Every structure is written in structure tokens, then in C-alpha cells.
Amino acid sequence: TPKTNSPLFRVLERERECIYIYIYRKRESMAEETASVPTVPTDLPVKRPREDGENNDNGGVSISVEMEDSNNKEPDYISSVIPGWFSEISPMWPGEAHSLKVEKILFQGKSEYQNVMVFQSSTYGKVLVLDGVIQLTERDECAYQEMITHLPLCSIPNPKKVLVIGGGDGGVLREVSRHSSIEQIDICEIDKMVIDVSKQFFPDVAVGYEDPRVTLHIGDGVAFLKAVPEGTYDAVIVDSSDPIGPAQELFKKPFFESVAKALRPGGVVCTQAESIWLHMHIIENIVANCRQIFKGSVNYAWTTVPTYPSGVIGFMLCSTEGPPVDFKHPVNPIDANDSHCKLKWPLKFYNSEIHAAAFCLPSFAKKVIDSKAK
């Protein structure tokens, strides 16, 4: 390490400043282009096909993932790889971007619903990106997958039938499989490409598909739930992406009504519920809808995921009228000695202490969420 007063140190510092200035100007340019375009939230985005030569499977230095609306306007957001870095930019978190150093682009494809990309990062392992937004990384996926699964399933005794909406990467299935009481696991994922890509590049995540209790349904989760007989499931886990594109229906009141109908008395739901630092307006609406629909418990929990915007993500946990559910005090702990838990993937994040702590909210968030109880 060069001394702070050495010529080499000053050269390195100057190079670093130049890099920061380049990234800053690049992001400002992108932000100005995006800000100049009015967005219509009700429009479903139509993805722009890549131009010839854009698909670089050798880790090329300039690859972009762009989305356009149906009127062929400029992209609503652009997440790109610029000289060796992936930068995540979206109107869901205006004025900021999270970047990861890219070692190599492993996959780029376009499904019927979204752009799909996998790249090897230098610090977080392989990364799955959908429509320019990071969904998981090998290093920190445990913090999300384990919490969204075990917060609800450890809060009720002996769950037997579980439905997963979304979650095409298979991580939630992996965690559900740890519970020996479960007899039936249904998963409904709309995008088969996500499943195939996850099995190829994230086998330790997609291992959940190998459980014989799992039945895979390719299709729309909203339509699937409407067709489910009343009172079918003990738990529903909604592992959705952000409320734009194909996932936006999973944040609306009719969807939660379908979930409540599909649950038995005292059944539970856990759904991805955004960040308290970025999306309190979305969380406020989710809480208000859930308090109208679910007559049992309604709680908000959160966890830390370093590669998600703001570094945190939340969960909405609700129960239907029936046997009372106290989400803050688990009654169904995971037995590490059980045959279904003897996986080569031990729990990395979840434990009973962090379960209880997940419901402790900072004052500003607690005030807003508690106000919806009145």
C-alpha cells in the first residue's frame, strides 16, 4: 500500500476521482433523459428487442437493458453495463443507482414477459437480473429467501399445503422443503425462462424443484388463484418482483382478496412488500388493503439484503379469521435434525431471534403503518 504522501498514491487518487466523475456524469445524463419523458403507470411496458450485436456472451464492456412503453417512447429505466460495471437505475428509486463490478456476462435473453440477464460479479457471485433489476445474488439471496418463507411457515403449527406465487428461481421452494409437515407445494410462475435460467446458473437455489412434493404451474398467478377452491392452502407466499410490468397485479386489492379466499381459517400469507426507505407510499396502500381484507393478524416485517435498493426489503404478513396467529413469536421452529432439513444448504440467515426482530420497525415507519390500524 503506497504512503499517502507518495507520488504513486496521488496518481491512484486522481485516477479514482476521474472514475467517480465519469460515473456521476453518466448517471446524470441518464437521469435527465429519463426525467424528460412522462410515464403512464397504467401502461404495461413492452420490451425493446436487442439490436444485432448487443448479445455479448463474452463479457463485453457495453451492454444495456432497456424498456419502452407501448407508444415507443424513450426507456422508463435503463440499467446498463458500462466499462466493467452493472449499474441499476429505475424510477422506483429515483436519484440513485447501485453498481456491481462485472467479471463476465453469462446469459442474456428475452422472454415473452421480460429481459433476463445473468452475470458474474466480482463480490457477490452470480447475479440474476430481470428487466434491469437485480433479483438475487449468490452471496445474499439467503437473507430474502429464508425470511419470506420461514416468517409465515414458522408462525403456524403443522402447515400442510403451501402455494408459492412467483419465485421462479426456486429459492422459496428450497426453503419450504425444510418443513417436514408439508405434504403439498404448488408454485405458479409466469415466466418459464426464469426457471430454466435459474436451474442452469443457480443450481443451489433452484434445488427446490427437485422436491417430489412440488407441482409446477406455468401461468398467471392472478388467474391461478381465482380458480383455487376456497380454503385450499395453509400458507401462500408471494415472491414477486417490483410493482411494474407483469408483477403489478400482485399488489392490487383484488389479488389479496383472491389470496384470502384460497386460505383456510387461520391461514397465512407473506408477500414481498418493498422498502421502508423508498416506498412508504406503496407500503401504506398495501397495509390499508390488507387490513380491510384479512380479519386475523396484519404485520409488516423487514430484512437486510445488501444488493437491493436501500439495502432492505419488507414483507407483509397477514392471517385470515380463525385460530389466532402471532407472527412475532414462532410456534413451529425448524428442526435441524429432521430428514427434510438435512440438506447440504444449512440455514445461513434465519433464526428465532431474527424472526422476532424483523417486526421491530423504526419510528417513522411504525407511525405510518400503525396509523392504518385505526
State the catalytic residues. 239
Is residue 134 within 8 Å of 88, Cβ to Cβ?
A: yes
The grid coordinates listed for 149 are 418463507
Q: Count the neighbouring beta carbons within 10 Å of the beta carbon of residue 63.
A: 20
Count of alpha carbons within 13 Å of 129, Cβ hemisphere only? 35
340 contacts 178 by C-beta, under 8 angstroms:
yes
* Cα–Cα distance for residue pair 302/360, rounded to 1 Å: 8
* Phi, then psi, of 334 in degrees rounded to 5: -75, 130
Cell numbers given for 223: 388467474
SS (H, E, C) the chain: CCCCCCHHHHHHHHHHHHHHHHHHHHHHHHHHHHHCCCCCCCCCCEECCCCCCCCCCCCCCCEEEEEECCCCCCCCCEEEEECCEEEECCCCCCCCCEEEEEEEEEEEEECCCCEEEEEEECCCCEEEEECCEEEEECCCHHHHHHHHHHHHHCCCCCCCEEEEEECCCCHHHHHHCCCCCCCEEEEEECCHHHHHHHHHHCHHHHHHHHCCCEEEEECCHHHHHHCCCCCCEEEEEEECCCCCHHHHHHHCHHHHHHHHHHEEEEEEEEEECCCCCCCHHHHHHHHHHHHHHCCCCEEEEEEECCCCHHHEEEEEEEECCCCCCCCCCCCCCCCCCCHHHCCCCCCCCCCHHHHHHCCCCCHHHHHHHHHCCC
In Å, how far are 25, 88, 320 from 18, measured between CA atoms? 11, 21, 56
